[in-house]
Structure 1
Amino acid sequence: MIRFWSGRAVRLATLLIGVAVGTFALLSASPVDPIEAYVGADSVQVSPEQREQIAERWGLDDPPVERFTAWAGQVLQGNLGTSQVFDAPVTEVIGEKFLSSLALMAAAWVISGVLGFALGVLAGSRPGTWIDRGVSWWAYTLASAPVFWVGLLLLYVFSVSLQWTPVCCAGPVGALPDEITLIERLHHLLLPALTLSIVGVAPVILHTRHAVIEVMASDQVTFARSLGESPRGVIVHRVLRNAAAPALMLQFASLGELFGGSVLAEQVFNYPGLGQAITTAALRQDVPLLMGISLAMALFVFAGNLLGDLVHSKVDPRVALVKEGVR
């Protein structure tokens, strides 16, 4: 266990360093003038003296290596810096926005996992039938559908045409956060979460279907059938657990794609989460906030993959973390 956790710690440190260096290098190579992006539409009215003050305030005139070194020194002290757009500590901005995105991603993650596993088992247990072909066709179609296109389609159908769901935001427009009820929050959360889950359900369906077909063709299922076990008993006692292991691992590994999809979904529905903060920070060249969000995303995805490995090894006793020396 010591070898396992120490190896994971080294991987995490290497990942965070690589993400930080890569993100800062891309931002430094951006052709966008950071001062004009910071000022926005009022850039024409800014005098040269004011530009110098802005550059001095945020250290925009310093060499890139010096800026990165200064930022890294603050990070080692637990300080991610101050957001230029929100004029608040980066940790506070990420913490506030992440809670909204977490509710959205958690709802989509659960829906896509449960629905994808159920449909995958249904299709895999009846290979070659019209049910299998229909579910597979639907999964392949969803796998190639962009998140923003699905979001716009659902928005037009359920919000504009049927008027069943709100058009935007995480609550009624003009209402204070303390005045929004739980029912109203769930009502505004429904369509964005459905958008993410519809797109994310496809890989779970396809992988679960493949795993079920393999298990159904195994010797243990053949032996169980020879003993007179019913088809339902074969599915419940022989197939579900063996198919659940790869499905769970895939579900945890998809957190990165889920995070990326939430950025587009939040833009379509104007949902005030971390994805919307990423877009705002990118357009305004808010380097401290972008760097902090990149590290938070890397940590989030790494934790998801780690949980996926641990859950996979618990669900399927045959799986052992051999590379880390855990038996």
Structure 2
Amino acid sequence: MNILRYLINKLLRLLLLLLTMSALSFTLVSLSPIDPVQAYVGAEMMRIGPEQRQRIAERWGLNDPPLVRYTRWLTSLLKGDLGTSAIYNQPVSQVIRQRFFTSLGLMGSAWVLSGIFGFLLGVISGAKAGSWIDQGIRFYAYLLASTPTFWLALLLLIVFAVSLKWAPICCATPPGLLPEQVTLAQRLHHLALPALTLSIIGVANITLHTRQKLINVLNSDYVLFAKAQGESLWGTLWHHGLRNISLPAITLQFASISELFGGSVLAEQVFAYPGLGQATVQAGLRSDVPLLLGIVLFSTIFVYTGNTIADIVYHFIDPRIRLGAEA
């Protein structure tokens, strides 16, 4: 199967997945006990009368049956219109674009750091299996694998921001400054602690997975034969180990994109980081259906694209793997 047919097949699957996710998400939001009008008005709910409530409901089409509202939203989506956010009173596409670029730096830096350090720790642990170094790395990985993201974020916030005052307590930029006034150093300063939180959590899985794969490779017949011919440990690791453990590591790292997005929701809440994760929470709590559906579709495309890139990378790392081949 050539790459063009493979991409067309993946695109058709993506369209089916987006349709299913949008219908499921809309159904769940429609069944939510949250009153959309009350969530929209907020604390001013007691000051508005029945007529104003009716006008608000008519403006957002809340009086129509769920099927009618979903059909209307889907028709607008096919025209390229994701609707208007009730929270921000802006087009959903604009809100997602602004928030995504804020979250992209956070998730991207955490994804790269967790992949690099997780892979290195896994290689060291697998090469030194049974040693005190291996035991220390495994204890570190198991401990982090069972640590909730929000708890680690709160711990780092208390230690580095409140006690040591090495990092800011909140936000992506210093409060009170316009975006054009913020320097790169200030952005990185505010990014450091949230990115550290996500990368520390993400290290655990890739470390344990890489360690086990490397142990399997080092105990294989061809590696034992290479050692019998005088090949050193690091020589066998370089010539035989890295190539065989890189594919599983890439698989796990690209698969962790969905977990990373979920972790960013919690981290952004703790650090008051104005990214896509925080917008997702606000959209859910305040029943902002257009924004929530837009984020669901965008995150689905984001994760699906990451997995597709991983499949393509496999093919270039190991040409024996055919694109679209059945398992």
2:44 is paired with a residue of what secondary structure?
helix
Tell me which residue corresponds to 1:68.
Answer: 70
TM-score w.r.t. length of structure 2 = 0.97
> Counterparts of 1:157-306 in structure 2 under 5 Å?
157-306=159-308
In structure 2, C-alpha distance between the alignment counterparts of 1:117 and 1:313, rounded to whole Å:
20
Instruction: Give the partner amino acid of 1:221.
Output: V
3-state SS of paired residue (2:95): helix
SS in 1 for 2:137: helix
The farther-off stretch of 217-226 and 177-186 is 217-226
Q: Calculate the aligned-residue CA RMSD, in Å.
A: 1.3
CA distance in 2 between partners of 1:125 and 1:315 (Å):
22
Q: Is the Cα–Cα contact under 8 Å of residues 168 and 270 in structure 1 kept in the other structure?
A: yes
Q: Distance in 2 between matches of 1:322 and 1:65?
A: 36
> CA 1:82–1:310 in structure 2 vs 1: closer, same or farther (change >3 Å)?
same
Amino acid of the structure 1 residue aligned with 2:60: W
Per-residue deviation, 1:290: 0.2
Q: 1:324 to 1:80 in 2, by over 3 A?
A: farther
SS in 2 for 1:317: coil
Question: Residues 95-119 of structure 1, C-alpha deviation per residue, up to 9 Å, x if partnerless?
Answer: 0000000000000001100000000
Q: What does residue 86 of structure 1 align with?
A: 88
Distance apart, 1:224 and its partner CA: 1.8
Give the Cα–Cα distance (whole angstroms) in 2 for the partners of residues 252 and 241 of structure 1: 17
Superimposed CA distance per residue, residues 100-141 of structure 1 (whole angstroms, 9 cap, x where no aligned partner)? 000000000011000000000000111111111111111111
Unaligned runs of 5+ in 2: none
Q: 1:27 corresponds to which letter in structure 2? A: V
- How far the C-alpha of 1:215 sits from its partner, in A, is 0.9
How far has the Cα of 1:249 moved from its partner? 1.3
Identity %: 54
Q: Is the 8 A contact 2:34 2:286 kept in 1?
A: no
Question: Is 2:43 the counterpart of 1:41?
Answer: yes
User: Which stretches in structure 1 are left out of the alignment for 5+ residues?
Assistant: none
- Match for 1:316 among 309, 315, 318? 318
Letter in 2 for 1:172: P
Q: Distance in 1 between matches of 2:75 and 2:218?
A: 56
Match of 1:139 among 138, 141, 159: 141
Distance in 2 of aligned mates of 1:239 and 1:267:
40
Residue-by-residue CA offset, 1:63-98 (whole Å, 9 max, x unaligned): 000000000000011110111111111101000000
User: In 2, distance between residues paired with 1:135 and 1:313?
Assistant: 31
Q: Taking structure 1 as reference, are residues 91 and 324 closer, same or farther at Cα in structure 2, changes over 3 Å only?
A: farther
C-alpha spacing 1:240/1:220, structure 2 compared with 1 (3 Å): same
In 2, are the aligned partners of 1:4 and 1:324 still within 8 Å (CA)? no
Amino acid at match of 2:316: K
Distance 1:76 1:324, change over 3 A: farther
Pair 1:124-2:126 in alignment: yes
Structure 2: distance between partners of 1:292 and 1:54 = 21
CA distance in 1, matches of 2:244, 2:52: 65
SS in 2 for 1:204: helix
Q: Which residue of 2 aligns with 1:151?
A: 153
Offset of residue 314 of structure 1: 2.1
Structure 1 residue 319: deviation in Å? 2.7
> How far did residue 173 of structure 1 move?
1.4
1:54–1:48 CA distance, 2 compared to 1 (3 A): same
**C-alpha contact (below 8 Å) 2:6/2:324 kept by paired residues:** no
Shift of 1:223: 2.2
Q: In the alignment, residue 280 of structure 1 is paired with which amino acid? A: Q
Tell me the number of residue pairs that the alignment of Structure 1 and Structure 2 aligns: 325
Contact 1:83 1:90 in 2 (8 A): yes
Shift in Å at residue 318 of structure 1?
3.6
Q: Distance in 1 between matches of 2:319 and 2:134?
A: 29
The TM-score normalised by the length of structure 1 is 0.97
For the residue of structure 2 that corresponds to 1:254, the secondary structure is helix
Report the Cα offset of residue 226 of structure 1.
2.1
Classify the secondary structure of the residue corresponding to 1:20: helix
